[in-house]
Amino acid sequence: MLPAAGKRIQYLVGAPEGFRDIRPRAPYNDLACDFLNNLSAALLADKEAKAHPDVIAFAYWCRKANIARLKQEFGEMQPRLGLGLAFHIAPSNVPINFAFSFAFSLLAGNANIVRVPSKDFLQTNIVCRTVKRLCGDANYEEIGNESAFVKYEQDDEITGAFSKICHARIIWGGDQTIHHIRTLPTPERCVEIAFADRYSFCVLDGPSVFRADDAIIKRLAASFYNDTYLMDQNACSSSHLVVWLGEGDVVSKAKERFWGRVHEVTAAKYDLQPVNAVDKFTRLCENAVEREHIGGFKRHGNYIYRLEIDALPPDLDTLRGIYGLFYEYSTPDLNSLASVVNEKYQTLTYFGVDKAKLLDFVLTNRLRGIDRIVPIGAALDIGVIWDGYDLVRSLSRIIECR
């Protein structure tokens, strides 16, 4: 029995009376694929949704052509079924992440209970009301009976009740959050996937930036803005460190060209609140006092703070930017970073560098970190492969038959 709706918990989709007879389906089953395609169409037709790029990005991800591509890439020859009931704990600071988590598990063949952010986000409300309306369609009655989106403040009793009945628990959050939730028991065969704090950086080839035409640099700056400023650098895949490959005057000129364009984009688009500007300046001062590897500082108004690192500290992943504060490091050899890359590192975005060279950097150095290598502009593009997990396979099981 699920916790009843009341003052402590709100059911935005579904009801506690559901989940009577949880039976998993095969990954990429027709019902799940069709449901997501119709969810895509409904969101793309929603006038309010169009004001939120993250909702529209989710809607495009759910469209029929993309799901069909994922199904083809999955290409599983072994018979599979979902695990059963998946309990998702979404991050509190990302409004649309819960929807992707739900979609991944639905495609794996599972029923789902999703704890949405307790903070009020318009994007969350838009997706929830659309899913609720679609679940009311007779064609999707089964999914409606096997889906619940719940909202509540931190409450171990409620989280514990959901944890006791789930066959998979997906936790998105900080390290402390994950450690605490893991104290709440799950069934013995429950699969747990945790997405913890991660660190990401980008690599730009100085000569390539210097030689590129203005149209390319303009697009590059806009893409970098999307990767970082859209989430105030709070997303695990947003860059904090910018690594410049190359030496000498060419790199110096490339930096000024790139950051000049980024400043134009931020000045036109970014709504920097006074309190955030103060927080950023405070972080700058803390770095100047406490960090011995900071070799210089440049700013472009209040929008961009650039802190030059003259040597790589072993705890580089603790250097975190906010609201447009970035750390910069120049090197002629990317392999110089290998000694500091640990399991905290998630995404490497790039421009002007052969992706095969970047993959070789990870494989040859046998790095514990860096799970994603994507072009600048694709940092926030979440997918069924995330943090090194194949989520559809991880959330389903093989039925051996011989």
Per the structure block, which two tokens stand in for 398? 């093989």
Q: Does 190 map to a domain?
A: yes
- What local confidence, expressed as pLDDT, does residue 231 receive? 87
CATH of the domain at 269: 3.40.309.10
Q: What whole-number distance in Å separates Cα of residue 259 and Cα of residue 264?
A: 9
- Are 333 and 188 in a shared domain? no
30 by Cβ neighbours in 10 Å (0-12 / 13-18 / 19+) ranks as: exposed
- Are 54 and 91 in a shared domain? yes
Q: What angle do CA 382, 133, 44 make, to 5 degrees?
A: 50
DSSP character at residue 344 = T
- Are 189 and 277 in a shared domain? no
- Are 59 and 149 in a shared domain? yes
| Contact between residue 334 and residue 340 where contact means Cβ atoms under 8 Å apart | no
Strand 199-205 relative to strand 345-351, pairing: parallel
- What local confidence, expressed as pLDDT, does residue 167 receive? 96
Q: What whole-number distance in Å separates Cα of residue 222 and Cα of residue 216?
A: 10
- What local confidence, expressed as pLDDT, does residue 93 receive? 80
Q: For 220-246, how does the pLDDT look when each residue is reduced to its tens digit (9 = 90+)?
A: 999 999 999 988 998 899 999 999 999
Q: Does 103 map to a domain?
A: yes
Per the structure, how many domains does the chain have? 2
- Are 225 and 80 in a shared domain? no
**53-61 helix and 97-108 helix, angle to the nearest 10 degrees:** 10
SS (H, E, C) 293-311: CEEEEEEECCCEEEEEECC
- Are 232 and 336 in a shared domain? yes
- What local confidence, expressed as pLDDT, does residue 109 receive? 97
Which among 207, 204, 203 has a CA at the least distance from the CA of 251? Answer: 207
| Contact between residue 65 and residue 36 where contact means Cβ atoms under 8 Å apart | no
Q: Does 382 map to a domain?
A: no
| Contact between residue 304 and residue 327 where contact means Cβ atoms under 8 Å apart | no
DSSP character at residue 149 = E
Contacts of 246 (CB under 8 A, 6+ apart): 205, 206, 207, 254, 330, 332
- Are 391 and 261 in a shared domain? no
Q: Does 2 map to a domain?
A: no
- Are 86 and 186 in a shared domain? yes
- Are 191 and 266 in a shared domain? no
Q: Does 5 map to a domain?
A: no
- Are 218 and 181 in a shared domain? no
Q: Does 41 map to a domain?
A: yes
- Are 273 and 347 in a shared domain? yes
Q: For 289-324, how does the pLDDT look when each residue is reduced to its tens digit (9 = 90+)?
A: 888 888 889 999 999 999 999 999 999 999 999 999
- Are 32 and 170 in a shared domain? yes
Instruction: Report if pTM > 0.85.
Output: yes
Q: Does 380 map to a domain?
A: no
Q: Does 128 map to a domain?
A: yes
The amino acid occupying position 101 is S
Residue found under tokens 């093989």: 398
Q: State the residue range of the domain holding 106.
A: 10-197+387-398
CATH of the domain at 17: 3.40.605.10
pLDDT tens for the chain, residues 1 to 402: 678 888 899 999 998 877 777 899 999 999 999 999 999 999 999 999 999 989 999 999 999 999 999 999 998 788 999 999 999 999 888 899 999 999 999 999 999 999 999 888 999 999 999 999 999 999 999 999 999 999 999 999 999 999 999 999 999 988 899 999 999 999 999 999 999 889 999 999 999 999 999 999 999 999 999 999 988 998 899 999 999 999 899 999 999 999 999 999 999 999 999 999 999 999 999 998 888 888 889 999 999 999 999 999 999 999 999 999 999 999 999 999 999 999 999 999 999 999 999 999 999 999 999 999 999 999 999 999 999 999 999 999 999 998
- What local confidence, expressed as pLDDT, does residue 59 receive? 97
